Amino acid sequence: MKFRAAVATAAVVPLALGLAACGGTDKPAAAPPAPVSVPTTAEPQKAVSTAPPAAVRLNRVTFVPAMNSALTKQKSWHIVGKMTGGGSTLLTMDGYQTANPTAMSMTMTGAAFQGKAAKIILVDKTPYLSLPGLTPAGKFAKILPQDAGNLAELMDSGDPTKIYKSFDKSMVNLKFVGEETVAGEKLERYAVTVNTAKALKAQGKKVPKGVPATINYSMWMDKSHLVRKVSFDLSGVSMVMTMSDYNKPVSITAPPANKIIK
């Protein structure tokens, strides 16, 4: 169903310092007054380095704990994503999420919605969907648990904290790529390879047939190790997602009764 594909798309959503070495020079002390000069030397003084300390990059042991520690301190965030394939934009998404209580409000556009906008709201584990061709404009369908099927699981996958935590047991490789400036901010880029089956199992999901053995992510983090950008390619489809506005006030509520249809 169209709404299931839409939600699946939404789902793809201690810094140590080194010390600079010090050098030293000898400084002779003044000779005491005497007919014969007696040379003496004082303790060498260490020069103070003005070079900035070098940052130690995250590794396979520290990456997931640092990332999750930073994310669990966040109450809300803004997500913007774009899916492309075959040289064209397949889908865009723009929305907000809150961690406690868990809630989501996401607007999506693309070919799956006949070029119109679809909206998904999740409140109290109940999804509300407004989909072109399935609901009247501006109206939402309330999806009951007995009718949701795998939809609740897919909506739950939209919580990035669970996706990132799955890296703990599924990470195959990690590499620091370098520093890059994104939207005017200097970020650290990492290349992350995860075992697909282990990642899905850690999220409580089954492994679909035909998925690759591994998935390669590019992840950009700020100095506090908050994920600010994620990208990956899968079966000819590319996804780029940015996360911003951490901890800014966000209110996500269910649609009013007059906007909900049976």
74-122 pLDDT, tens digit each: 999 999 999 998 888 888 999 999 988 889 999 999 877 777 899 999 8
Give 35's DSSP letter.
S
Q: How far is CA 148 from the centre of its chain?
A: 27
Question: Of the ranges 15-24, 73-82, 89-98, 157-166, which one carries the lowest mean pLDDT score?
Answer: 15-24
In single-letter form, the type of residue at position 238 comes to S
What pLDDT was estimated at residue 201?
A: 85
For the record, the structure tokens of 112 come out as 């799956």
d(CA 31, CA 10): 79
Complete edge-to-edge strand list for the sheet that includes strand 117-123? 171-182, 185-195, 214-221, 227-234, 237-244, 76-85, 88-99, 102-110, 117-123, 126-130, 140-142, 260-261
pTM over 0.75: no
Domains and CATH numbers, the chain: 2-12+57-261 (2.50.20.20)
What pLDDT was estimated at residue 96?
A: 94
In angstroms, what CA-CA distances link 83 with 8, 108, 160?
Answer: 12, 11, 17
The dihedrals phi and psi of 85, each to the nearest 5 degrees, come to -170, 140
d(CA 248, CA 75): 8
Residue 250 has pLDDT above 60, yes or no: yes
State the DSSP string of 46-72: EPPP-SPPPBPPP-TTTHHHHHHHHHT
Give 204's DSSP letter.
T
Do 230 and 194 meet the contact criterion of CB atoms below 8 Å apart? no
Do 83 and 91 meet the contact criterion of CB atoms below 8 Å apart? yes
* Average of per-residue pLDDT across 130-150: 80
* Average of per-residue pLDDT across 173-199: 94
d(CA 259, CA 255): 6
* Torsional class of 70: left (φ above 0), alpha (ψ -120 to 50), beta (otherwise): alpha
Burial degree of 107 (CB within 10 A; 0-12, 13-18, 19+)? middle
pLDDT band for position 149 (cuts 50, 70, 90): low
